[in-house]
Structure 1
Amino acid sequence: MRGLNHWRRGAVTAVAVLAGISLGAGIALADPGFGGAKPGSDGAGDSYYPQDGNGGYDVADYDLKVDYAPATHQLTGSQTISARATQSLSSFDLDLSGPTVDSVKVDGRDAKFTRTGDHELVITPARPVWRGERFTTKIAYHGVPAAIDDPLLGLNGWQYGKSGGAFAAGEPRSATTWYPVNDTPLDKATFHLAITVPDEWGVIGNGREGRTFKTPKGTTHVWDETTPAVPYMTTVAIDKWEFDRTKLSDGTPVVSAYAPGTSDETKAAERRLPEIIDFLSSKFGPYPVDAAGGIFLAEPIGFSLETLSRPIYSGRAGDLQTIVHENAHQWYGDTVAVENWKDVCLNECFASYAQWLWSEAKEGQDLNARYLAAVKKASPAFWAGKLYDMGPGNEFTYVYSKGPLALHALRNTIGQQAFDKVIKTWNRLNHDGNASMPEFQRYTERVAHMNLQGFFDAWIYGNAKPSDQYLYPGSLKPSA
């Protein structure tokens, strides 16, 4: 995200359990070795957003079929979720804000369901789902989606365009406003979307563009994201788009969509996307996603967002630096996602420093001079800003300004060779997984053969101006 204001018993027993599962869905068998079935937790346990996400299962795939009527804002959905139970489940939760649920089936049998709180959909299957068992949940629902209006983070989720179209964008939550989901960064899944809209509307989503075909209700557009995605990184956008389709040098498809009124300057910046991705690949390793492109809105929303494979841009932010930032997230934040929201510097500090690296390589900027100038003018409030465990609602603040300074100081502390190795191998080591800032610290220490506790305490974990030892390492010398 880039804000506009700064902004995871023995063999005999295992065989017995598998044999029991195959005997038939209508037989509630014993659960030897695993204990009795119980409800899955109604939250994933994040310290900032403990009720977001759920426990007891792991989603592999969301297969979503949607009809959407721009004139009435009515959305009708049919969704199939493929998952595996990580405990024996008597019931389990999904997250959904707003739309009405019409029916739920688990493994083809009607399931009971209730709604609790502001986003909990509690599902009780006809029989328990045993630990290790793969199961499917099919949900029919409808309604007029509405964004979540967070007092600190603004509008998140399904939003409406002035043209009459709509789009989904928001962090830390967005998906819950338009489909049932396990809304936690800890549960990535592939995402398949077939959405039907009136013929005059265009649609863009995550991943690779599938077939388009006519139906009695309009035109169906298919998008398939085969890179596992965190829920808030999924999106769909409906408008009278101008499409631009091309490929990267390795054949990866690029699809970008421009809302009416998008400036020529923005289109020219996006046409440099292959160059941007080649540059970022030289720094961070091979491009880690199955597709690329961008979604350029007309609406001046308060942020742009790294939606997987295809970032979504505010109508006032389609500039080159923002495109570099959001695409850097495909390595830092998307394919390697945070373990907890307090680790968000692993997303935003790195995407912001990617902008520095671009300026250095493409514009000849002296980053040491840029760093020293920023240090010289930094206020006490700036130094008090935290880059780790900054508190809910404060995630998207100093990570954009103090964050790149911390990484430039780290580069000068451990040396260019070690720094290059760290940032280029981090995604490969953690690809399609989650990571924490302490894990990044330990990995950097191993690569650099240095104890970096003092540095991380001063820059990442602390909230005071670092001492000169950490403020002016290596070739960085204080300006007069």
Structure 2
Amino acid sequence: MRAPHRWRRPAVTVAATLTALTLGTGIASAGQDGWGRPTPGSDGGGDSYYPQDGNGGYDVSDYDLKVTYAPDSHQLTGLQTVYARATQSLSSFNLDLKGLTVDSVKVNGLPAKFSRTGDHELVITPRFPLLRGLPFRAEIAYHGIPQAIEDPNLGANGWQYAKSGGAFVAGEPKSATTWYPVNDTPLDKARFHLAITVPDEWGVISNGREKGTYKTAAGTTHVWSEDTPAVPYMTTVAIDKWTFDKRQRADGTPIVSAFAPGTPDSTKQADARLPEILDFLESKFGKYPVDAAGGIYLAEPIGFSLETLSRPIYSGRAGNVSTIVHENAHQWYGDTVAVDHWKDVCLNECFASYATWLWSQAKDGQDLDARYLKTVAAASDQFWAGKLYDMGPGNEFTYVYSKGPVMLHALSKYLGQAAFDQVLKTWNGLHHNGNASMQEFQHYCEAVGHKDLQGFFDAWIYGNGKPAPEYLYPGDLKPANG
């Protein structure tokens, strides 16, 4: 687990402190004092599928983003303030930003040099090196017309335009780079604060808690604050002529849902069950781990719905109970516990998909053993060949939805129901606000169940063939002819 670091926002005196350190002692002396010689931070986060996404050399604690957006021209003007801590002594560091024009950069209040390389790299060279272990602040002013990233399987990702004239952000594994500078890796979660100004007639919804609005010369500024650390692709904003529904859970957690014009009543009725859905998921996975809840219901039928933190975003006509269960299960599996690497994505999608099985059992009386046996009996060779781990870039969002929940039901039988239920309910607490790998999940299951699971994981997860009978029909599961 890589739990996020906690520290206060750096004060404005940091720049003066760093100036004194670097000018008074010199870089060589800094090395003798244990800071190390400043070198460039890496231009990638190290993921085997997307090696250039994210960057090394620092940890972000907080993004404080101020944006003005004009729906008529699609022009976005932003000022991003990044609060971070250097994990090595840095002569330069990178952020990820796709397509938009950078106007100026400051680091610790002083103008910094910057350049653009590759598809999305923003290289920042501060006036003075950043010393390992010390906090720093970077301010990036930028502007432009955001453009989505085209994915061959999922379609547009990131900043997208609504037919109403509004806009919204949704995409995985990347989307944030299309509208603000960011360290775009699941390994660097951060708090996300947004103040966005739009013309008065437009409404805005984002992650976390609504902190109010105020009038400006350019329109109305809407302030949102997400204090649960978020992976960048889990951040969002949506601008439209929304109808809002504002409620609270029994424990006071605010629920804010936004419906685009033309949203059918069936979708609003499904969203009305959100408190019931969260209570159910809490009974299975432990205490709700996020500081707010709700949903963003689009008119556009995009290629997916997405578990944006605290407030999932739903493709038009996908606002049904099953999808709402799936996306909110991600608040535990995928959001507050994120993947170490994208090859571990079953830890997100397999569990969110299985949550819909558990819901159908509890609310509709479905026999999950019968569902499992029927699925296994009808499974094709292609189904069994689908991989649940290290499936390759571009193949992450395939068999995790179909084979994934089948695997988890088999695991519940092989591990034992009591141990499996304990794993589901305690995994989030073990890795809360951090990251995890499939191997860590295997070892935790083994520790809870006091059982060697290597054979099961090889058969179902690490391999890609039909499991042997002992893993295909564990416990009281029996083949139809058996």
TM over 0.5: yes
Deviations 1:62-82 (A, max 9, x none): 000000000000000011100
Q: Residue 263 of structure 1 aligns with which residue?
A: 264
Q: Residue 166 of structure 2 aligns with which residue?
A: 165
Q: Secondary structure at the match of 2:399?
A: coil
Q: Residue 154 of structure 1 aligns with which residue?
A: 155
Q: Residue 325 of structure 2 aligns with which residue?
A: 324
Which residue identity is paired with 2:413? N
2:383 is equivalent to residue 389 of structure 1 = no
- Any residues of structure 2 matched to 1:3-82 within 5 Å, and which? 8=2, 23=17, 25=19, 28=22, 29-30=26-27, 31=30, 32-82=33-83
Distance (whole Å) between structure 2 residues aligned to residue 176 and residue 101 of structure 1: 13
Report how far residue 416 of structure 1 moved: 1.1
Question: Contact 2:154–2:304 (CA<8 Å) still a contact in 1?
Answer: no
Distance (whole Å) between structure 2 residues aligned to residue 181 and residue 316 of structure 1: 31
Q: Secondary structure at the match of 1:50?
A: coil
Distance (whole Å) between structure 1 residues aligned to residue 396 and residue 426 of structure 2: 25
Which residue identity is paired with 1:318? G
Distance (whole Å) between structure 2 residues aligned to residue 125 and residue 448 of structure 1: 51
- Any residues of structure 2 matched to 1:72-471 within 5 Å, and which? 72-471=73-472
Which residue identity is paired with 2:174? R
Which residue identity is paired with 2:58? Y
Q: Residue 8 of structure 2 aligns with which residue?
A: none
Q: Secondary structure at the match of 2:245?
A: strand
Q: Residue 14 of structure 1 aligns with which residue?
A: none
Deviations 1:50-91 (A, max 9, x none): 000000000000000000000000000011100000000000
Report how far residue 455 of structure 1 moved: 0.3
Which residue identity is paired with 1:449? H
Distance (whole Å) between structure 1 residues aligned to residue 471 and residue 16 of structure 2: 61
Distance (whole Å) between structure 2 residues aligned to residue 284 and residue 219 of structure 1: 39
Aligned length: 463
Question: Contact 1:85–1:134 (CA<8 Å) still a contact in 2?
Answer: yes
Report how far residue 35 of structure 1 moved: 2.1
Q: Which residues of structure 2 form unaligned runs of 5+?
A: 3-12
Pair 72,26 (structure 1): closer, same or farther in 2 beyond 3 Å: farther
Question: Contact 1:147–1:159 (CA<8 Å) still a contact in 2?
Answer: yes
Q: Tell me whether 36-45 or 22-31 shows the greater mean CA deviation.
A: 22-31
Pair 373,104 (structure 1): closer, same or farther in 2 beyond 3 Å: same
Question: Contact 2:267–2:317 (CA<8 Å) still a contact in 1?
Answer: no
Report how far residue 98 of structure 1 moved: 1.0
Which residue identity is paired with 2:19? A
Q: Secondary structure at the match of 1:294?
A: strand
Pair 81,20 (structure 1): closer, same or farther in 2 beyond 3 Å: closer
Which residue identity is paired with 1:128? P
Pair 24,51 (structure 1): closer, same or farther in 2 beyond 3 Å: closer
Question: Contact 1:210–1:224 (CA<8 Å) still a contact in 2?
Answer: yes
Q: Secondary structure at the match of 2:128?
A: coil
Report how far residue 21 of structure 1 moved: 8.2
Distance (whole Å) between structure 2 residues aligned to residue 21 and residue 203 of structure 1: 35
Pair 37,165 (structure 1): closer, same or farther in 2 beyond 3 Å: same
Distance (whole Å) between structure 2 residues aligned to residue 83 and residue 20 of structure 1: 12
Moved over 2 A (4+): 19-27, 150-154
Q: Percent identity?
A: 75
Pair 39,385 (structure 1): closer, same or farther in 2 beyond 3 Å: same
Question: Contact 1:39–1:92 (CA<8 Å) still a contact in 2?
Answer: yes
Q: Which residues of structure 1 form unaligned runs of 5+?
A: 1-7, 9-18
Question: Contact 1:153–1:393 (CA<8 Å) still a contact in 2?
Answer: no
Which residue identity is paired with 2:252? G
Pair 20,291 (structure 1): closer, same or farther in 2 beyond 3 Å: closer
Q: TM-score, normalised by structure 1?
A: 0.95
Distance (whole Å) between structure 2 residues aligned to residue 163 and residue 20 of structure 1: 45
Distance (whole Å) between structure 1 residues aligned to residue 185 and residue 19 of structure 2: 29
Q: Secondary structure at the match of 2:19?
A: coil
Report how far residue 25 of structure 1 moved: 2.6
Deviations 1:266-293 (A, max 9, x none): 1000000000000000000000000000
Which residue identity is paired with 1:457? D
Q: Secondary structure at the match of 2:395?
A: coil
Q: Secondary structure at the match of 2:52?
A: coil
Distance (whole Å) between structure 1 residues aligned to residue 14 and residue 373 of structure 2: 67
Distance (whole Å) between structure 2 residues aligned to residue 48 and residue 27 of structure 1: 39
Question: Contact 1:208–1:253 (CA<8 Å) still a contact in 2?
Answer: yes
Distance (whole Å) between structure 2 residues aligned to residue 440 and residue 121 of structure 1: 35
Distance (whole Å) between structure 1 residues aligned to residue 423 and residue 380 of structure 2: 30
Distance (whole Å) between structure 2 residues aligned to residue 224 and residue 22 of structure 1: 29
Q: TM-score, normalised by structure 2?
A: 0.95
Report how far residue 134 of structure 1 moved: 0.1
Distance (whole Å) between structure 1 residues aligned to residue 17 and residue 466 of structure 2: 65
Aligned-pair Cα RMSD in Å: 1.2
Report how far residue 20 of structure 1 moved: 11
Pair 408,430 (structure 1): closer, same or farther in 2 beyond 3 Å: same
Deviations 1:336-369 (A, max 9, x none): 0000000000000000000000000010000000
